[in-house]
Amino acid sequence: MNILDDLKLQYKLGGIAMRMIYWNIACFLISLVFYNFSIGLFNFPNWLALSSDPQVFMFKPWTFLTYAFFHFGFMHLLFNMLVLNFASNLFLTFFNQKQYLGLYILGAIFSGIVFALSFYILGTSASIVGASAAIMAILVAATTYQPLMNVRLLIFGNVKLWHITGVILLLDLMQLRLENTGGHISHLAGAFFGFVYIKLLQNGTDLSIIVSKILDFFANLFRKSPTTPFTKVHKNYKKPTEKTSSRIVTKDKTQQQIDEILDKISQSGYDCLTKEEKEFLFRAGK
């Protein structure tokens, strides 16, 4: 098996978490088209990156989701995918794949809205890309559900899950006003959404159903409905009962009449027959 076949197998059998990583990597490879080698930066168009400018995002609403699949550079992608893999394994220990996908999408959209509104209120304009906000939603959701879960780290040994998540959130808070303010705002928004998602889920409300229903609608829309096989209808016709032919009926009556005449002859002789009986017996004998 070559590398390509191995990757295809991993994509097929790895589940939604592995596919999410593959999708992010594929989008990163596509984004190389927008890499400006002269300045060493990615120049994402405003129909992929999420802009805080209302005149942009109001006419490109899909950017509230597309931004969560693109990254500024390889290290940005690598760090996010490592955290995504870690958070995915934790989340999928307790929840299913539809909930995972729904939380990723809704977390990204909610974080994008918070980012756009925050920068609009601050009166500044910026754009963001990156899966960090959606990843934070998944990580905080798993932490909210099982905060005391033991996680073994290579250097520190066993630590509580909430310790890891708490450190990441603390770093976001500390850097909020230093650099990448929009990114940190979206991270904290994603964390908040993950927390709210679990609290609502524990009260019987699963927000991921919204995404599942939308995806199922489009899947059913493009899926060919199974055609009903043609059923040949066989009508059972009763073969009409043949009427007894007049010839047979006549023969029976004739035979009966002959028998009666013969009985009469045997009892009283031939001379007792009437003229009509004699003629009938003559015709029947032909």
What homologous superfamily does CATH list for 3-222?
Rhomboid-like (1.20.1540.10)
Name the residue with higher pLDDT: 91 or 275. Answer: 91
Q: What is the pLDDT of residue 194?
A: 96
Mean pLDDT for the chain overall: 83
Phi, psi of 42 (to 5 degrees): -85, 130
SS3 174: helix
Task: Provide the angle, in degrees to the nearest 10, between the axes of the packed helices 74-94 and 97-122.
Answer: 130
Mean pLDDT of 67-95: 92
For residue 155, what are the CA distances in angstroms to 83, 151, 152, 178, 259?
Answer: 17, 12, 9, 29, 123
For residue 211, what are the CA distances in angstroms to 21, 97, 173, 266?
Answer: 19, 12, 30, 106
> Domain boundaries in the chain?
3-222, 248-284
pLDDT in tens, 155-198: 777 889 999 999 999 998 888 777 778 888 999 999 999 999 99
pLDDT in tens, 3-48: 777 777 777 777 899 999 999 999 999 988 888 776 777 888 888 9
Mean pLDDT of 138-167: 90
The model's pTM is 0.74
* Dihedral class, residue 180 (left if φ above 0, else alpha if ψ from -120 to 50, else beta): left
Q: Is the pLDDT of residue 122 over 60?
A: yes
